[in-house]
Amino acid sequence: MKGENYMTRNNYNNRHTNLILFIIACAFLGIGGGINDSSFNNFLDYTYKISAFLRGSIEFPRETPGFLLIFITGFLYFLGDKRISLIATLLSSISLLGLAYFAPSFSYAILWIVFYNTGTHLNMILNSSIRMSLSEPKNYGRTLGNIGAVATAA
């Protein structure tokens, strides 16, 4: 009985610590996403001097990872949601660095944009699953809402 109580308390402490770390990660992802969303179009305009038509035509390759997400997720399923999310976050981060420093031409920029959006689309679908796995069973809705509020506020 004593060991069972300890295990329950230990699982709660681990879940609570992981939840706090996940909230912090969501806050940083929210800040990064906000910075990227507000400066992305200006970056493309100042760096590559593209027209409005060309900017609009980027949307197809940019959103293709969202369309292919079911296949990408199925391919990575064996890793589990937390590991896939880690890979997706690293992919997004490295892609932004690649876009800033290793995109001498517009074609390379499109490639980095596709990689970035692959990571962000993967994280979009995995965040809710991770939030629920870190929540207490009776507080799924509250946990989803609170973490979403932190990400939005960030």
Question: pTM score, two decimals?
Answer: 0.83
- Assess contact for 134 and 143: CB atoms under 8 A: yes
Question: Could you tell me which of 86, 85, 114, 87 has the C-alpha nearest to residue 98?
Answer: 114
What percent of the chain has a predicted confidence (pLDDT) above 90?
A: 51
| 132-153: average pLDDT | 83
d(CA 124, CA 61): 18
d(CA 100, CA 43): 9
Q: Cβ contacts of residue 46 below 8 Å, gap of 6+?
A: none
pLDDT of residue 143: 83
| Phi (first) and psi of residue 135, to 5 degrees | -90, 160
Question: Could you tell me which of 101, 134, 95, 131 has the C-alpha nearest to residue 115?
Answer: 95
Q: Cβ contacts of residue 144 below 8 Å, gap of 6+?
A: 128, 131, 132, 135
Using CA atoms of 118, 70, 85, 7 in order, give the dihedral in degrees to the nearest 10: 180
d(CA 40, CA 62): 12
pLDDT tens readout for residues 32-89: 888 998 999 899 999 999 888 998 899 999 999 999 999 999 999 999 999 999 999 9
Token couple for 17: 């610590």
d(CA 21, CA 68): 29
Token couple for 60: 């197809």
